[in-house]
């Protein structure tokens, strides 16, 4: 038997076998607090100095390797290096060792807290940012003192990352070529960590709950199909998983061969299958996997991991590249969805009690019009180079759409005056992610050219279940009758008003849900690029007539379990080959009954 087996929520499929590399993000909870004897104080001061020096050496080495195109990341490291060299922080810590006899990590903690207390009352944004940087630098030194490895860039060889949590900013920093898979204690199915893993094409589990049993260097298997982590497997387990991994790779290769065929049902209905991307660099994955366009470009990722805001020029350059490469295929730019779990250093954390319901997305942009307008201008400029659409996230009412469009009109007027080209007919859409937007879909449909249903948030807000909270992930049900009715309402409202409707939440990549969406008459679906070949294959083997019948039955069900049964029957009936294949990858006790 393996040492032990843990279970998490699978968020990106595939099987990886490799050495664990633990990135302990929660180590501050275990900060040692000890009193040092007088005779040991000089040695403790030496230890502190050595830790500062060692972090400095490591950062300097990383700085050397930062590529030119990641300039902003480089300047953040420069700031941290300056702070490490600043004698104030180290000096204050040494004093606490000498006068109070605190151990080095605790002394540094006290020195940082003093600085925070001094600057707390100052509302200046710049000071706030610097204070956050001081905290980051201090934590690096403290983890060094505690002997904990944290730096994602210090991974040697290829590894499976184990972490308490990975923020969207962390995932942007990951060196993809070194990472085979990851597992985190926290997180839910549609947390942005999972989304990022899927776009990187590596297996991932979130919401594992605990990872104490895993140690650095342990051989682990991450099974992104069943959600299992097998720690130090036996020879026979290893052989079995190697076989499953090979089968899965074969299947992936096979379905990719047909991914460029159109997503057309047996009886001739077409649905557009597009991709969700977070970084412009993902266009290759979109095209390689047969994406017919970019249905959702999450533009906020380009704002993370930097201390300054991107300029209009910087954004326009990226956006123009994307529009031109994808042309004549469509690219839907979603304006910034910052806030909640995605913060930018320049604005700091907003310290909200309930950030998911706070100053997020369009609300944040309307409060910061300069930042909003810079982005709108850049998107408009890109519209002259391809087939560009724009949409607003987290819309809760007609007024918000009108306010957002007013800023867009102003951006257009400015560009016109400056003689800069843009597409005056660029389609404008809104995401439908809030129950309020669902209920007024018929009004919103008259304000915009298209809808895009964001089920990740729509499920979160309508069922009242935090999409990142593993404790309630069992309630996060795409096939909840409320979710399905909401989607149907929006599709019908859109079509009644003569506008197109897309769906870009994770539901779009769920083979169990797609036949229902087809039955509703959805015009396009957008998903992580890696999911496109499989979903296109499902659509090509489907009959629209059957989808409508399935939808009719599903809408009559009152419970999720009834719907699940119907959907399962449908899969068994229409996709026996898929069922047989995936069954062969699961263990017997995991097969649906």
Name the site residues for Mg ion (rule: CB under 5 A): 433, 454, 457
Rounded to whole angstroms, the Cα distance separating 355 from 363 reads 12
Nearer Cβ to Mg ion (148/359): 359
Of these partners, Mg ion, ligand PEP, none, which one is at the site of residue 374 (CB under 5 to 8 Å by kind)? none
CB of 191 to ligand PEP, least distance (A): 9
- The residue annotated as part of the active site, out of 80, 192, 480, 574, is 192
| 337 lines the binding site for ligand PEP (CB under 6 A) | yes
Least separation, in Å, of the C-beta of 408 and ligand PEP? 20
- Rounded to whole angstroms, the Cα distance separating 193 from 184 reads 9
Q: Do residues 295 and 452 make contact, with C-beta atoms less than 8 angstroms apart? A: yes
Cβ at position 456, least distance to Mg ion in Å: 5
**Least distance (Å) between residue 475 CB and ligand PEP:** 17
Nearest alpha-carbon partner for 506 in 243, 288, 197, 173: 197
- What b/e readout covers 527-537, taking b as 16+ CB neighbours within 10 angstroms? bbbbbbbbbbb
Which member of 365, 504, 513, 547 is catalytic?
504
Region of 56-64, 376-384, 453-461, 534-542 interacting with ligand PEP (CB under 6 A) = 453-461
**Of 223, 433, 510, 546, which one interacts with ligand PEP (CB under 6 A)?**
433
Q: How far is the CB of 507 from ligand PEP (least distance, A)?
A: 8
Closest Cα to residue 282, out of 448, 528, 541? Answer: 528
Closer residue to Mg ion (CB): 211 or 336 = 336
Residue listed under structure tokens 């404008």: 428
Contact flag: residue 455 with ligand PEP (CB under 6 A): yes
Helix (H, G, I), strand (E, B) or coil at 167: coil
What is the DSSP secondary structure assignment for residue 386, as one 8-state letter?
S
Residue 26, number of CB atoms within 10 A of its CB = 11
By the rule CB under 6 A, 282 interacts with ligand PEP: no
Coil, strand or helix at 420: coil
Give the residue from 195, 5, 7, 13 showing the smallest Cα distance to 582: 13
| 165 annotated ligand-binding residue | no
- Give the Cα separation of 291 and 285 in Å (integer): 8
298 is in an annotated binding site: yes
E strand or H helix that includes residue 22: strand 15-23
Residue 433 labeled ligand binder: yes
Choose the binding region for ligand PEP from 205-213, 287-295, 452-460, 489-497 (rule: CB under 6 A): 452-460
Task: Kindly tell me which residue out of 233, 291, 339, 454 binds ligand PEP, with binding defined by CB under 6 A.
Answer: 454
* 467 labeled part of a ligand binding site: yes
339 part of the interface to ligand PEP, by CB under 6 A: no
> Among residue numbers 286 through 325, which ones bind ligand PEP (CB under 6 A)?
296, 298
Strands (DSSP E) contained in 309-363 are 330-334
On whether 329 is known to bind a ligand per the annotation, the reply is no
Give 167 or 456: the residue with its C-beta nearer to ligand PEP.
Answer: 456
Which one of the spans 130-138, 455-463, 488-496, 535-543 is the region binding ligand PEP (CB under 6 A)? 455-463
Q: Which residue is nearest to ligand PEP (CB)?
A: 454
- Segment contacting ligand PEP by CB under 6 A, of 105-113, 323-331, 448-456, 514-522: 448-456
Closer residue to ligand PEP (CB): 62 or 438: 438
| Residue pair 366/328 in contact by the 8 Å Cβ criterion | no
For residue 192, indicate whether it is catalytic: yes
Q: Is the peptide bond before 436 cis (omega within 30 degrees of 0)?
A: no
Closest approach of Mg ion to the CB of residue 433, in Å: 5
Cβ atoms of 392 and 362 within 8 Å: the answer is yes
Distance between CA atoms of 420 and 411, rounded to whole angstroms? 11
The helix/strand/coil state of 533 is helix
Is the Cβ of residue 423 or residue 457 nearer to Mg ion in the bound state? 457
Query: Is 216 annotated as ligand-binding?
Result: no
Least Å from the CB of residue 197 to ligand PEP? 13
CA–CA distance, 40 with 319 (Å, rounded to integer): 58
Helix or strand run (H / E) with residue 95: helix 87-100
The span from the CA of 340 to the CA of 402, in Å, is 23
Nearest approach, Cβ of residue 299 and Mg ion (Å) = 13
Answer for which of 171, 389, 456, 473 binds ligand PEP (CB under 6 A) is 456
CA–CA dist 132, 442 (Å, integer)? 45
Based on the shown chain and the rule CB under 6 A, indicate whether residue 360 belongs to the binding site for ligand PEP: no
Site for ligand PEP in 66-85 (CB under 6 A): none
CA-based nearest residue to 221, from 231, 213, 212: 231
Min separation Cβ 105 and ligand PEP, Å: 37
Which of Mg ion, ligand PEP, none does residue 504 bind to, with CB < 5 to 8 Å depending on kind?
A: ligand PEP
- Which of 206, 484, 504, 571 forms a contact with ligand PEP (CB under 6 A)? 504
- Residue 149 · residue 23 · CB < 8 Å: yes
Please spell the DSSP secondary structure of 411-451, one letter per residue: HHHHHHHHT----TT--EEEEE-SHHHHHTHHHHTTT-SEE
Active site residue 259: no
Nearer to Mg ion, 188 or 454 (CB): 454
Q: Which of 369, 371, 379, 367 has its CA nearest to residue 333? A: 379
The three state secondary structure string of 194-235 is HHHHHHHCCCEEECCCCCCCCCCCCEEEEECCCCEEEECCCH
Out of 505, 515, 519, 529, point to the residue binding ligand PEP (CB under 6 A).
505
Binding mask 377-406 vs ligand PEP (x if CB under 6 A, - otherwise)?
------------------------------
Instruction: Say how many C-beta atoms besides its own lie within 10 A of residue 215's C-beta.
Output: 14
Annotated binding site for Mg(2+): 433, 457
Annotated binding site for phosphoenolpyruvate: 298, 334, 456-457, 467
| Residue numbers annotated as active site | 192, 504
Residues that bind ligand PEP (CB under 6 A): 296, 298, 337, 433, 454-457, 504-505
Annotated binding site: 298, 334, 433, 456-457, 467
């Amino acid at each position: 038997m393996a040492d032990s087996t843990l279970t998490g929520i699978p968020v990106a499929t595939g099987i990886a076998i490799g050495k664990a590399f633990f990135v302990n993000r929660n180590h501050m909870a275990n900060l040692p607090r000890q009193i040092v004897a007088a005779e040991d104080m000089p040695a403790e001061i030496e230890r502190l100095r050595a830790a500062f020096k060692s972090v400095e050496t490591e950062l300097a080495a990383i700085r050397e390797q930062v590529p030119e195109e990641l300039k902003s990341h480089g300047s953040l490291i420069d700031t941290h290096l300056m702070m490490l060299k600043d004698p104030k922080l180290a000096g204050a810590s040494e004093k606490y060792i000498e006068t109070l006899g605190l151990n080095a990590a605790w002394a540094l903690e006290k020195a940082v807290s003093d600085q925070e207390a001094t600057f707390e009352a100052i509302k200046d944004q710049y000071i706030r940012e610097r204070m956050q940087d001081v905290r980051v630098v201090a934590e690096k030194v403290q983890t060094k003192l505690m002997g904990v490895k944290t730096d994602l860039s210090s991974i040697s060889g290829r590894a499976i990352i184990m972490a308490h949590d990975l923020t969207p900013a962390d995932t942007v920093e990951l060196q993809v070529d070194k990472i085979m898979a990851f597992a985190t204690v926290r997180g839910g199915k549609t947390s942005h960590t999972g989304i990022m893993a899927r776009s990187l094409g590596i297996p991932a589990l979130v919401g594992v709950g605990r990872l104490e049993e895993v140690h650095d260097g342990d051989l682990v298997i991450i099974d992104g199909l069943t959600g299992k982590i097998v720690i130090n497997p036996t020879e026979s387990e290893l052989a079995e998983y190697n076989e499953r991994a090979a089968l899965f790779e074969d299947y992936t290769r096979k379905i990719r061969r047909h991914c460029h065929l159109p997503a057309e049902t047996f009886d001739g209905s077409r649905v557009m299958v597009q991709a969700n991307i977070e970084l412009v660099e993902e266009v290759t994955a979109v095209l390689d996997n047969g994406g017919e366009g970019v249905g959702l470009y999450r533009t906020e990722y380009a704002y993370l991991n930097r201390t300054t805001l991107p300029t209009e020029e910087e954004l326009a350059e990226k956006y123009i590249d994307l529009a031109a490469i994808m042309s004549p295929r469509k690219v839907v730019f979603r304006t910034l969805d910052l806030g909640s779990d995605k913060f930018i250093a320049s604005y700091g954390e907003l310290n909200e009690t309930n950030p998911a319901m706070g100053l997020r997305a369009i609300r944040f942009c309307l409060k910061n019009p300069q930042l909003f307008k810079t982005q709108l201008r850049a998107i408009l400029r890109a519209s002259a180079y391809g087939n560009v659409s724009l949409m607003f996230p987290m819309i809760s009412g007609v007024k918000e759409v009108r306010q957002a469009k007013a800023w867009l009109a102003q951006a257009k007027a400015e560009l016109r005056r400056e003689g800069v080209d843009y597409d005056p007919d660029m389609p404008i859409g809104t995401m439908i992610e809030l129950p309020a937007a669902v209920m007024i879909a018929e009004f919103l449909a008259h304000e915009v050219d298209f809808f895009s249903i964001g089920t990740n948030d729509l499920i979160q807000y309508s069922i009242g279940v935090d999409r990142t909270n593993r404790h309630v992930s069992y309630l996060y049900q795409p096939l909840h009758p409320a979710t399905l009715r909401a989607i149907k309402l929006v599709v019908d409202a859109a079509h009644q008003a003569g506008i197109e409707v897309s769906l870009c939440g994770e539901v779009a990549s769920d083979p169990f849900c797609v036949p229902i969406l087809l039955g509703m008459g959805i015009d396009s679906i957008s998903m992580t690029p890696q999911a496109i070949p499989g979903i296109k294959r499902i659509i090509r083997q489907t009959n629209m007539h059957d989808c409508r019948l399935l939808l009719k039955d599903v809408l009559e069900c009152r419970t999720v379990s009834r719907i699940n049964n119907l959907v399962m029957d449908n899969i068994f009936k229409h996709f026996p080959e898929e069922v047989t294949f995936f069954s062969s990858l699961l263990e017997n006790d995991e097969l649906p009954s």
